Amino acid sequence: MASPYPGGEREKLVSKLPATLRQALKVRAAQLSTDVQDAVAAGIQAWRDHPDQLPAVDTAGAESFGTYLPEGLYDGFKADCRTREVSYIQGLAQSVALWLAQNPAASAQPVRRLIVCNQKGGVGKTSVAAGLAQALAEGAEHILKAALAAGLSNEDAQSLAQAGGQRVLLVDYDPQGHLSHQLGLKAIPAGEESLVTHMLHRDQAQHSLLDLTIPIDGERFGDQLHILPAAFDAFLLDSGLTIFRGPRHAALERALAPIEEHFDVIVIDSPPSLGLSMDAGLYYGRQREDERPAASGLIIPVEAEDTSAQAYGMLINQVDSLARDYDIQIDQLGLVVNKFDSRRGYIATSSRDKWMQLGTPPVLAVVPDLKEQREAVRLQKALLAYAPTSEQSHAMRQIAKGLK
């Protein structure tokens, strides 16, 4: 927390302040990464400069409060209190109240919702969702160490590290449950509470979805990464949504909304389909009214071959149709050219180049088809924990870095 008053002597201020103001001051200073003493100094200066008489603050029950002010400010403050015929306690209370009014807390942004989707099977959607979630949750010190060990410059390593350390929920929304299996977890049995039951019958749920999430162990993630496992009966979700009495397109949001406050990012591993459940996933990733553009949206894994381009066109048609129907904005945050192998020749390299030339959405990373990902899956371990310095792990960090 850098002080706006570097150097120079400071003088101790000892006065009283109501407990409510003192607590509000402490919380707001922490929210804005400001020292309390600097906040008080700024408030007193603003109070002295204020042209009008400020309303009185109820100081009944005020308790002892001390801080340090830049040299000369305390004397000027006391002189102004005498001129304005208010007590030092009242003057300080007005100063703190004025600082709080002039320095509101930054409005809380909604949880970021990243929908990893492609109705074409076999493109490695699950591996991208898992790797991205791991990269967003991975501790900065671990990212730096891995990046430097792989030969990246200190500047590039620092840039990658800025994306990590977030509270991430990884949701296995795919009825096949590959994500859960890859991380050594079993799907939630049919009939038990799950994401599906919370989507279709939330009013009957006995537990919070938060209770169903499982932390991904490992020092690299520091309890920042949790997964909501697949449900065994997720194959019935589309038929359940067909007869759902509520707004079907908002069913996923309805289920996840109560636990959003516990996470910074929610990554959805979507089903490989164009059905109602996919509509709900796309709708969940829309830009909300109080959200900055491109904070949430779609991450689309593709392969460097022709059928991926055809599948991409089908997905975008569905996105555009949903956006028109509900008058919403669904941002395509980027493509991931996955499982790339230049040894496959002209088809692979020319397809990769076409994806790169597309421009919008941008290609966030080209992930090579190497053995580390397959080995991590076989061992049911997180890729970034199993092979933190591998090219694939760095590609996942590159995707995280590329998100605004």
Report domain extents, the chain.
10-102, 112-402
In the chain, the N- to C-terminal Cα span, in Å, equals 24
Q: Which two tokens stand for residue 303?
A: 């392969």
pLDDT band at residue 305, thresholds of 50, 70 and 90? confident
Predicted confidence band at 123 (pLDDT cuts at 50, 70, 90)? confident
Q: CB of 318 within 8 A of CB of 271?
A: no
* Angstrom distance (rounded) from CA 257 to CA 251: 10
Residue pLDDT, tens place only, 91-111:
999 999 999 999 887 656 789
pLDDT digit string, tens, across residues 287-301:
998 888 999 999 999
pTM: 0.74
Q: Report the pLDDT value the prediction gives residue 119, as an integer from 0 to 100.
A: 83
Rounded distance, CA 389 to CA 147, Å?
Answer: 7
pLDDT reported for residue 366: 94
User: What is the reported pLDDT for 106?
Assistant: 64
Task: Say how far apart CA 86 and CA 391 lie, in whole Å.
Answer: 67
Lowest-pLDDT range of 5-14, 18-27, 228-237? 5-14
Is 50 exceeded by the pLDDT of residue 1? no
Token code pair at residue 398: 């590159």
Domain covering 112-402: architecture: 3-Layer(aba) Sandwich (3.40)
